[in-house]
Chains A and B, each alone.
Chain A
Amino acid sequence: MTAFRAMIRWSLRHILGRKRLVGLGLFGLVPAVVMAVVGQTASDASLLKEFHAGPLLTVLFGVLPITTLVLGAAALGEERRDGTLSFLLLRPTSRTSIVGAKLASVWLGSFLIVGGSVGLAALVLGVRSGHWTPFGPVLLAMAISTLAYAAAALALGYLTGRAVLIGLAYLVILENGLALAIDGMATVSLMRIGLTAYWALLPDRTAAVAFSEINQLMASLAPGALGAAAKALVIAGLVVAGTAWLLRHRDVA
């Protein structure tokens, strides 16, 4: 096993210990449970709307940011505070590959929860109503948003012990507040990066239904899958380069 794969493997094990896996897993089940309960009473036609008004928003404003923040802040931040970061730094492995492996593990671990959460809800939607068109696009959209959030959380977790709180303040004040109130602020929303991809990938009829429920989230943003992926990759690249530079130049206490 190469060093890079070994770091991903053990990082995943570190950030997704049993307690966190169970806690976040249960958390991630909520959208699917809501979808299943709603599916008992709502008509097939309205289920598509309900999916976007309820479970999808639950994932976007709850499961996605919380999961990526908790896991991302732990990946480097907890290692630094527990003293195990020196174990990695004292190996003949480049700092870039250390940070890259950490980001990969946070992304994979977060997507397991977030993708599982939204995928399960979309699965229920498909089974109940026959609407399968959101399934693929929503998974891809969540993969993109998860990457952006994971990168931000990883860097924040390394820099400060209050990464989760700062991220939650960002969620409540910016994602949930300013970005809804002020058009221009939507461009700095990490969550909306994936939404623009989702919008672009949905067939037109489905998109019309979906975005009648969530169009206030999009503000002046335009749909675009490639643009969204590029944005997320740029954020990830900048974080990896910047954090690796910090690892090279910052003292490890």
Chain B
Amino acid sequence: MTESPALVEHPTVEARAVSKWFGQKVAVSDLSCSFGPGITGLLGPNGAGKTTLLRMLTGLLGPSDGEVRIMGKDPRRSPEVYRHLALVPEEDAVYGFQTAREFVAYSAVLAGTDPRSAEEAIATVRLEDSADRPISGYSKGMRQRAKVAAALVGRPDLLVLDEPLNGTDPVQRAHLIDTFRTLAREGHTVIVSSHVLAEVERMSGRVLAMVDGKLAAAGDIAAIRRAMSHIPYRVRIETDLPRRMAAALVEIDSVAGVELDGETLHAETTDLEGLGRSIAGVAARLDARVSRFEPEDESLESVFRYLVRRR
């Protein structure tokens, strides 16, 4: 059992007290975390240091302090580590003059695998129809898929994706998410950095949130929310007697405030479970009907907003 949700047992990738500064600017500050099989979402506002962390994890940047290990090895000293690692960067790191088929086959040759495996990777991202056109003529979403195919062709144990869903339409997005989930189920380690919180929430139960170069939260989304006990939960209650219900709720100690919005109440409470147990008794006493009782801020977006607002 690890001592922190930021760390996993049997990690594939570890960052141990890594920091990175560029002149006077500190991009990542004393950050320790690890990643193992499954999908981990890496979140943070612009400038939080996510891309810097990912580039350190993949060896493109050397940490100013601390160390990074992939399968126990320093990626900057052991290029053979790249047999097990693939990065899909956010920027357009593709050769425009190549077709997708050539690009993916080139990636296969460099990874030491059979170039014919490119066909399987291209099929995985559903790029077969356009695979023989130059990438310079592709849309943003198609370029993303070409990059993902080039990453998958080496059958990496560790897949790092920086904003992989940028420019993709909803159908392509859903298909890519399924692909990443399948890889995770097969025991691969997948790290996804994204601003599209709803998609990250769909993909991964475990998240690492960064703010201002530091790790702000780590672990399961619901557990992170529970750990923010100083921020009252916001609960939505729909009832046929909103005013009487509001008056009754205010008398409960753990309820910090109630807001009325037509027939809907928004209550703030420091004890979500306690309120959940009490609401049935209160409704029975008032002879009121409660049609909905739902926490409004257990979503990743709410958690993320609280984390960012703290700074």
In this complex, which of A10, A82, A87 has the most chain B Cβ atoms within 10 angstroms of its Cβ? A87
Task: Supply 19 further A-B pairs (C-beta < 8 A) apart from A89-B60, A95-B79, A252-B60.
Answer: A1-B109, A2-B109, A3-B109, A13-B97, A14-B95, A82-B93, A83-B91, A86-B87, A86-B93, A91-B111, A92-B79, A92-B83, A92-B111, A92-B112, A93-B82, A93-B110, A248-B76, A249-B62, A252-B61
Within 8 A of A (CB), among B71-85: 76-77, 79-83, 85
Asked if residues A6 and B93 are in contact (CB atoms below 8 Å), the reply is no
0 or 1 for each of A90-114: is its CB under 8 Å from B? (1 = yes): 1111110000000000000000000
Assuming the contacts A14-B95, A251-B61, A251-B62, asked whether A6 and B79 have C-beta atoms less than 8 A apart, the reply is no
Q: How many residues of B contact A (CB 8 A)?
A: 32
Q: Is A17 an interface residue (CB 8 A)?
A: yes
Q: Is A84 an interface residue (CB 8 A)?
A: yes
**With A and B bound together, what is the CA distance between A88 and B112 in angstroms?**
13
**With A and B bound together, what is the CA distance between A23 and B211 in angstroms?**
50
Asked if residues A6 and B89 are in contact (CB atoms below 8 Å), the reply is no
> B58 to chain A: which residues have CB within 8 Å?
90
Within 8 A of B (CB), among A1-47: 1-3, 6-7, 10, 13-14, 17
Asked if residues A10 and B79 are in contact (CB atoms below 8 Å), the reply is no
**With A and B bound together, what is the CA distance between A252 and B54 in angstroms?**
12
**With A and B bound together, what is the CA distance between A176 and B110 in angstroms?**
42
> B77 to chain A: which residues have CB within 8 Å?
248
Asked if residues B62 and A90 are in contact (CB atoms below 8 Å), the reply is no
Nearest to B91 among chain A residues (CB) is A83
Which 4 pairs from chain A and chain B are nearest by CB? Answer: A91-B110, A92-B82, A83-B93, A252-B60
CB < 8 Å: which of A17, A86, A92, A248 contacts B97? A17
0 or 1 for each of B108-124: is its CB under 8 Å from A? (1 = yes): 01111001000000000
Which residues of A come within 8 Å of B, CB atoms? 1-3, 6-7, 10, 13-14, 17, 82-84, 86-95, 248-249, 251-252
Nearest to B111 among chain A residues (CB) is A91
Asked if residues A83 and B110 are in contact (CB atoms below 8 Å), the reply is no
> A6 to chain B: which residues have CB within 8 Å?
106, 109-110
> B81 to chain A: which residues have CB within 8 Å?
92
> B85 to chain A: which residues have CB within 8 Å?
90
> B112 to chain A: which residues have CB within 8 Å?
3, 92
Q: Is B94 an interface residue (CB 8 A)?
A: yes
Q: Is B92 an interface residue (CB 8 A)?
A: yes
**With A and B bound together, what is the CA distance between A3 and B82 in angstroms?**
14
Q: How far is the CB of A61 from chain B (nearest CB, A)?
A: 31
Asked if residues A88 and B60 are in contact (CB atoms below 8 Å), the reply is no
Nearest to A88 among chain B residues (CB) is B110
User: Could you write out 8 A-B pairs with CB less than 8 Å apart?
Assistant: A3-B110, A6-B109, A82-B93, A84-B93, A89-B60, A90-B85, A92-B83, A94-B79
> A94 to chain B: which residues have CB within 8 Å?
79
Nearest to A84 among chain B residues (CB) is B93
Q: How far is the CB of B152 from chain A (nearest CB, A)?
A: 14
Q: Is B98 an interface residue (CB 8 A)?
A: yes
Nearest to A10 among chain B residues (CB) is B106
**With A and B bound together, what is the CA distance between A6 and B105 in angstroms?**
10
Q: Is B86 an interface residue (CB 8 A)?
A: yes
Nearest to A89 among chain B residues (CB) is B60
Nearest to A3 among chain B residues (CB) is B110
Q: How far is the CB of B41 from chain A (nearest CB, A)?
A: 21
> A95 to chain B: which residues have CB within 8 Å?
79
Assuming the contacts A7-B110, A10-B98, A248-B76, asked whether A87 and B82 have C-beta atoms less than 8 A apart, the reply is no
**With A and B bound together, what is the CA distance between A93 and B86 in angstroms?**
13
Q: How far is the CB of B133 from chain A (nearest CB, A)?
A: 16
Assuming the contacts A92-B79, A252-B60, asked whether A87 and B109 have C-beta atoms less than 8 A apart, the reply is no
Q: Is B107 an interface residue (CB 8 A)?
A: yes
Nearest to B98 among chain A residues (CB) is A10
**With A and B bound together, what is the CA distance between A88 and B79 in angstroms?**
11
> A91 to chain B: which residues have CB within 8 Å?
79, 82, 107, 110-111
Within 8 A of A (CB), among B109-160: 109-112, 115, 150
> A92 to chain B: which residues have CB within 8 Å?
79-83, 110-112
**With A and B bound together, what is the CA distance between A89 and B110 in angstroms?**
10
> A83 to chain B: which residues have CB within 8 Å?
89, 91-93
Asked if residues B89 and A86 are in contact (CB atoms below 8 Å), the reply is yes
Asked if residues B79 and A14 are in contact (CB atoms below 8 Å), the reply is no
